[in-house]
Amino acid sequence: MSKRVRTAVFPAGGLGTRFLPATKVIPKEMLALVDKPIIQYGVEEAVASGIEHVIFVTGRGKGAMEDHFDVSFELDATLERKGKRELLEISRKVSSLARVSYVRQKEPMGLGHAVLCAKQLVGDEPFAVILPDDVIDAPRPCIAQMMDVYNERQASVLATMTIEGPSISAYGVLAGAQDATNERLYDCTGMVEKPKFEEAPSKQAIIGRYILTPGIFETLERTGFGAGGELQLTDGILALLATEKVYGYTFEGRRFDAGDKFGMLQATVEFALKREEFGERFRAYLRNLPI
Protein backbone atom coordinates (compact mmCIF):
# COMPACT_ATOMS: atom_id res chain seq x y z
CA MET A 1 0.00 0.00 0.00
CA SER A 2 1.24 3.49 -0.77
CA LYS A 3 2.28 5.74 2.09
CA ARG A 4 0.86 9.16 2.82
CA VAL A 5 3.06 12.27 3.00
CA ARG A 6 2.98 13.14 6.73
CA THR A 7 6.30 14.82 7.37
CA ALA A 8 7.86 18.07 6.17
CA VAL A 9 11.55 18.89 6.45
CA PHE A 10 12.55 22.55 6.76
CA PRO A 11 16.23 23.13 6.03
CA ALA A 12 17.06 26.10 8.26
CA GLY A 13 20.78 25.87 8.92
CA GLY A 14 21.91 28.55 6.45
CA LEU A 15 23.72 31.73 7.47
CA GLY A 16 21.36 34.16 5.74
CA THR A 17 24.17 36.32 4.39
CA ARG A 18 21.88 37.82 1.71
CA PHE A 19 20.06 39.68 4.46
CA LEU A 20 22.93 41.14 6.48
CA PRO A 21 23.04 43.01 8.79
CA ALA A 22 19.52 41.93 9.93
CA THR A 23 20.65 38.29 10.07
CA LYS A 24 23.86 38.82 12.02
CA VAL A 25 22.16 37.58 15.20
CA ILE A 26 18.57 36.81 14.15
CA PRO A 27 18.01 33.65 12.08
CA LYS A 28 16.77 34.64 8.60
CA GLU A 29 13.83 32.28 9.09
CA MET A 30 12.68 34.61 11.89
CA LEU A 31 12.55 37.76 9.76
CA ALA A 32 9.01 39.10 9.89
CA LEU A 33 6.84 39.31 6.81
CA VAL A 34 4.15 41.77 7.98
CA ASP A 35 3.81 40.24 11.47
CA LYS A 36 4.85 36.60 11.16
CA PRO A 37 8.32 35.07 10.82
CA ILE A 38 8.76 33.74 7.29
CA ILE A 39 9.16 30.17 8.56
CA GLN A 40 5.68 30.28 10.08
CA TYR A 41 4.17 30.80 6.62
CA GLY A 42 5.85 27.57 5.51
CA VAL A 43 4.73 25.64 8.59
CA GLU A 44 1.15 26.89 8.20
CA GLU A 45 1.21 25.84 4.53
CA ALA A 46 2.43 22.37 5.56
CA VAL A 47 -0.22 21.98 8.27
CA ALA A 48 -2.98 23.22 5.93
CA SER A 49 -1.82 20.50 3.51
CA GLY A 50 -2.21 17.72 6.09
CA ILE A 51 1.39 17.50 7.36
CA GLU A 52 1.53 16.24 10.97
CA HIS A 53 5.24 16.26 11.75
CA VAL A 54 7.61 19.12 11.07
CA ILE A 55 11.39 18.62 11.16
CA PHE A 56 13.64 21.65 11.37
CA VAL A 57 17.22 21.14 10.31
CA THR A 58 18.91 23.90 12.27
CA GLY A 59 22.40 25.03 13.15
CA ARG A 60 24.24 27.37 15.46
CA GLY A 61 22.38 30.52 16.48
CA LYS A 62 18.92 29.26 15.54
CA GLY A 63 17.56 29.09 19.09
CA ALA A 64 14.96 31.83 18.48
CA MET A 65 13.27 29.55 15.95
CA GLU A 66 12.98 26.71 18.47
CA ASP A 67 11.56 29.08 21.08
CA HIS A 68 9.05 30.48 18.58
CA PHE A 69 7.37 27.10 18.04
CA ASP A 70 7.49 26.21 21.74
CA VAL A 71 5.13 27.30 24.52
CA SER A 72 6.07 30.75 25.85
CA PHE A 73 4.99 30.28 29.45
CA GLU A 74 5.75 33.79 30.76
CA LEU A 75 4.11 35.50 27.78
CA ASP A 76 1.00 33.27 27.86
CA ALA A 77 0.61 33.64 31.65
CA THR A 78 0.89 37.44 31.43
CA LEU A 79 -1.61 37.68 28.56
CA GLU A 80 -4.01 35.43 30.46
CA ARG A 81 -3.71 37.50 33.63
CA LYS A 82 -4.37 40.70 31.68
CA GLY A 83 -7.36 39.16 29.88
CA LYS A 84 -5.79 39.64 26.41
CA ARG A 85 -7.66 36.71 24.87
CA GLU A 86 -6.95 37.43 21.18
CA LEU A 87 -3.22 37.84 21.70
CA LEU A 88 -3.13 34.71 23.83
CA GLU A 89 -4.79 32.82 20.97
CA ILE A 90 -2.14 34.07 18.52
CA SER A 91 0.68 32.99 20.83
CA ARG A 92 -0.83 29.59 21.65
CA LYS A 93 -1.64 28.80 18.02
CA VAL A 94 2.05 28.91 17.06
CA SER A 95 3.08 26.34 19.67
CA SER A 96 0.27 23.94 18.82
CA LEU A 97 0.58 23.94 15.01
CA ALA A 98 2.30 20.57 14.61
CA ARG A 99 4.57 18.01 16.22
CA VAL A 100 8.04 19.50 15.87
CA SER A 101 11.44 17.80 15.85
CA TYR A 102 14.88 19.32 15.50
CA VAL A 103 18.11 18.01 14.12
CA ARG A 104 21.34 19.97 13.87
CA GLN A 105 23.32 20.38 10.69
CA LYS A 106 26.74 20.88 12.23
CA GLU A 107 28.27 22.57 9.18
CA PRO A 108 26.45 24.31 6.31
CA MET A 109 27.42 21.75 3.65
CA GLY A 110 24.49 22.32 1.31
CA LEU A 111 20.79 21.67 0.87
CA GLY A 112 21.30 17.98 0.05
CA HIS A 113 23.31 17.57 3.25
CA ALA A 114 20.57 19.32 5.26
CA VAL A 115 17.95 16.91 3.92
CA LEU A 116 20.21 13.95 4.65
CA CYS A 117 20.46 15.11 8.30
CA ALA A 118 16.70 14.39 8.61
CA LYS A 119 17.01 10.76 7.40
CA GLN A 120 16.48 9.04 10.78
CA LEU A 121 13.60 11.31 11.76
CA VAL A 122 11.77 10.86 8.43
CA GLY A 123 12.15 7.08 8.17
CA ASP A 124 11.05 4.99 5.21
CA GLU A 125 8.27 7.14 3.84
CA PRO A 126 7.69 9.96 1.34
CA PHE A 127 8.12 13.45 2.75
CA ALA A 128 7.95 17.11 1.82
CA VAL A 129 10.84 19.59 1.81
CA ILE A 130 9.98 23.25 2.29
CA LEU A 131 12.58 25.99 1.91
CA PRO A 132 11.46 28.74 4.30
CA ASP A 133 12.84 31.58 2.11
CA ASP A 134 10.31 30.75 -0.59
CA VAL A 135 6.98 32.11 0.61
CA ILE A 136 4.12 31.03 -1.65
CA ASP A 137 0.77 32.73 -1.89
CA ALA A 138 -1.61 30.24 -3.48
CA PRO A 139 -5.36 29.57 -3.73
CA ARG A 140 -4.65 26.02 -2.50
CA PRO A 141 -1.44 25.45 -0.48
CA CYS A 142 1.43 24.58 -2.81
CA ILE A 143 2.34 21.41 -0.88
CA ALA A 144 -1.31 20.26 -1.04
CA GLN A 145 -1.27 20.74 -4.83
CA MET A 146 1.92 18.67 -5.00
CA MET A 147 0.46 15.94 -2.78
CA ASP A 148 -2.35 15.53 -5.33
CA VAL A 149 0.30 14.81 -7.97
CA TYR A 150 2.22 12.49 -5.63
CA ASN A 151 -0.93 10.54 -4.76
CA GLU A 152 -1.76 10.10 -8.43
CA ARG A 153 1.74 9.31 -9.74
CA GLN A 154 3.48 7.82 -6.66
CA ALA A 155 6.71 9.57 -7.60
CA SER A 156 8.79 12.54 -6.45
CA VAL A 157 7.43 15.97 -7.39
CA LEU A 158 9.39 19.25 -7.61
CA ALA A 159 7.68 22.64 -7.70
CA THR A 160 8.72 24.68 -10.72
CA MET A 161 8.09 28.05 -12.30
CA THR A 162 9.12 29.67 -15.56
CA ILE A 163 12.05 32.06 -15.22
CA GLU A 164 12.93 34.20 -18.21
CA GLY A 165 16.49 35.40 -18.83
CA PRO A 166 19.83 35.09 -17.05
CA SER A 167 18.38 34.94 -13.52
CA ILE A 168 17.63 31.24 -14.22
CA SER A 169 21.28 30.71 -13.13
CA ALA A 170 20.24 31.13 -9.49
CA TYR A 171 18.12 27.96 -9.56
CA GLY A 172 18.08 24.25 -10.16
CA VAL A 173 16.75 23.82 -13.71
CA LEU A 174 14.75 20.92 -15.16
CA ALA A 175 15.07 19.12 -18.46
CA GLY A 176 11.99 17.22 -19.54
CA ALA A 177 8.82 17.11 -21.57
CA GLN A 178 5.36 18.30 -20.74
CA ASP A 179 3.00 15.49 -19.67
CA ALA A 180 0.44 14.49 -22.30
CA THR A 181 -2.55 14.75 -19.94
CA ASN A 182 -1.58 17.56 -17.56
CA GLU A 183 0.05 20.74 -18.85
CA ARG A 184 1.32 21.64 -15.36
CA LEU A 185 3.41 18.43 -15.22
CA TYR A 186 6.90 17.83 -16.59
CA ASP A 187 8.28 14.36 -16.94
CA CYS A 188 11.89 14.97 -15.84
CA THR A 189 14.76 13.62 -17.86
CA GLY A 190 17.49 15.60 -16.14
CA MET A 191 18.26 18.64 -14.00
CA VAL A 192 21.20 20.88 -13.27
CA GLU A 193 21.97 23.09 -10.28
CA LYS A 194 22.65 26.76 -11.05
CA PRO A 195 23.61 26.37 -14.73
CA LYS A 196 25.11 29.16 -16.81
CA PHE A 197 22.30 30.95 -18.68
CA GLU A 198 23.53 29.58 -22.06
CA GLU A 199 23.59 26.04 -20.68
CA ALA A 200 20.21 25.98 -18.88
CA PRO A 201 18.23 23.01 -20.24
CA SER A 202 14.89 24.87 -20.03
CA LYS A 203 13.13 27.84 -18.41
CA GLN A 204 11.66 25.59 -15.70
CA ALA A 205 13.30 26.57 -12.40
CA ILE A 206 12.95 24.47 -9.27
CA ILE A 207 11.29 26.40 -6.44
CA GLY A 208 11.66 25.50 -2.76
CA ARG A 209 8.94 22.85 -2.46
CA TYR A 210 9.62 19.15 -3.00
CA ILE A 211 7.88 15.86 -2.33
CA LEU A 212 10.50 13.13 -2.29
CA THR A 213 10.47 9.38 -1.97
CA PRO A 214 12.79 7.96 0.74
CA GLY A 215 15.08 6.68 -2.04
CA ILE A 216 16.58 10.19 -2.00
CA PHE A 217 18.51 9.40 1.20
CA GLU A 218 20.37 6.58 -0.49
CA THR A 219 21.23 8.66 -3.56
CA LEU A 220 22.32 11.64 -1.43
CA GLU A 221 24.64 9.37 0.54
CA ARG A 222 26.57 8.56 -2.62
CA THR A 223 26.36 12.00 -4.27
CA GLY A 224 29.56 14.06 -4.27
CA PHE A 225 29.90 17.77 -3.61
CA GLY A 226 28.64 19.81 -6.55
CA ALA A 227 27.94 23.47 -7.41
CA GLY A 228 29.48 25.85 -4.85
CA GLY A 229 31.34 22.96 -3.19
CA GLU A 230 28.10 21.83 -1.51
CA LEU A 231 26.10 18.60 -1.45
CA GLN A 232 23.25 19.64 -3.74
CA LEU A 233 19.73 18.28 -3.40
CA THR A 234 19.36 18.73 -7.17
CA ASP A 235 22.26 16.28 -7.75
CA GLY A 236 20.67 13.74 -5.38
CA ILE A 237 17.35 13.97 -7.25
CA LEU A 238 19.19 13.61 -10.56
CA ALA A 239 20.67 10.34 -9.28
CA LEU A 240 17.18 9.22 -8.19
CA LEU A 241 16.04 9.63 -11.80
CA ALA A 242 18.12 6.58 -12.75
CA THR A 243 15.66 4.30 -10.93
CA GLU A 244 12.46 6.32 -10.33
CA LYS A 245 10.25 8.78 -12.13
CA VAL A 246 10.44 12.43 -11.05
CA TYR A 247 7.96 15.13 -12.03
CA GLY A 248 8.20 18.90 -12.21
CA TYR A 249 4.95 20.63 -11.30
CA THR A 250 4.13 24.23 -12.23
CA PHE A 251 2.22 25.16 -9.12
CA GLU A 252 -0.69 27.56 -9.06
CA GLY A 253 0.24 30.64 -7.04
CA ARG A 254 2.95 33.24 -6.62
CA ARG A 255 6.35 32.75 -5.04
CA PHE A 256 8.32 35.41 -3.20
CA ASP A 257 11.98 35.04 -2.33
CA ALA A 258 11.74 36.42 1.20
CA GLY A 259 15.39 35.56 1.91
CA ASP A 260 16.33 38.38 -0.45
CA LYS A 261 15.93 42.07 0.44
CA PHE A 262 14.01 43.03 -2.70
CA GLY A 263 11.87 39.88 -2.59
CA MET A 264 10.98 40.64 1.02
CA LEU A 265 9.93 44.18 0.06
CA GLN A 266 7.65 42.83 -2.67
CA ALA A 267 6.15 40.23 -0.35
CA THR A 268 5.63 42.81 2.40
CA VAL A 269 3.67 45.14 0.12
CA GLU A 270 1.54 42.38 -1.40
CA PHE A 271 0.80 40.53 1.84
CA ALA A 272 -0.02 43.80 3.60
CA LEU A 273 -2.46 44.74 0.82
CA LYS A 274 -4.30 41.46 1.39
CA ARG A 275 -4.69 42.00 5.13
CA GLU A 276 -8.14 43.26 6.04
CA GLU A 277 -7.01 45.24 9.06
CA PHE A 278 -4.84 47.59 7.00
CA GLY A 279 -5.53 46.72 3.38
CA GLU A 280 -7.54 49.88 2.57
CA ARG A 281 -5.42 52.18 4.70
CA PHE A 282 -2.21 50.82 3.21
CA ARG A 283 -3.60 51.05 -0.35
CA ALA A 284 -4.47 54.73 0.22
CA TYR A 285 -1.01 55.33 1.67
CA LEU A 286 0.69 53.79 -1.38
CA ARG A 287 -1.51 55.77 -3.79
CA ASN A 288 -0.53 59.03 -2.13
CA LEU A 289 3.21 58.45 -2.18
CA PRO A 290 4.98 61.03 -4.37
CA ILE A 291 6.44 58.46 -6.80
Instruction: List residues binding ligand G1P (CB under 6 A).
Output: 111, 131, 134, 171-172, 193, 205-208, 232-234
23 vs 232, which CB is nearer to ligand G1P? Answer: 232
Q: How far is the CB of 85 from ligand G1P (least distance, A)?
A: 38
Q: How far is the CB of 171 from ligand G1P (least distance, A)?
A: 3
- The four Cα atoms 72, 21, 272, 143 give a dihedral, to 10 degrees, of -70
Measured distance CA(253)–CA(1) in Å, rounded: 31
Residue nearest to ligand G1P according to CB distances in the complex: 172
Q: How far is CA 85 from the centre of its chain?
A: 31
Q: How far is the CB of 4 from ligand G1P (least distance, A)?
A: 25
Q: How far is the CB of 209 from ligand G1P (least distance, A)?
A: 9
Q: CA distances (Å), 252 to each of 138, 177, 180, 255, in order?
A: 6, 19, 19, 10
40 vs 160, which CB is nearer to ligand G1P? Answer: 160
Q: How far is the CB of 194 from ligand G1P (least distance, A)?
A: 7
205 vs 272, which CB is nearer to ligand G1P? Answer: 205
Q: CA distances (Å), 9 to each of 122, 124, 224, 258, 287, in order?
A: 8, 14, 21, 18, 40
CB-count burial class (<10 Å; 0-12, 13-18, 19+) for 220: buried
79 vs 143, which CB is nearer to ligand G1P? Answer: 143
122 vs 205, which CB is nearer to ligand G1P? Answer: 205
Closest CA relative to residue 172, chosen from 152, 145, 190: 190
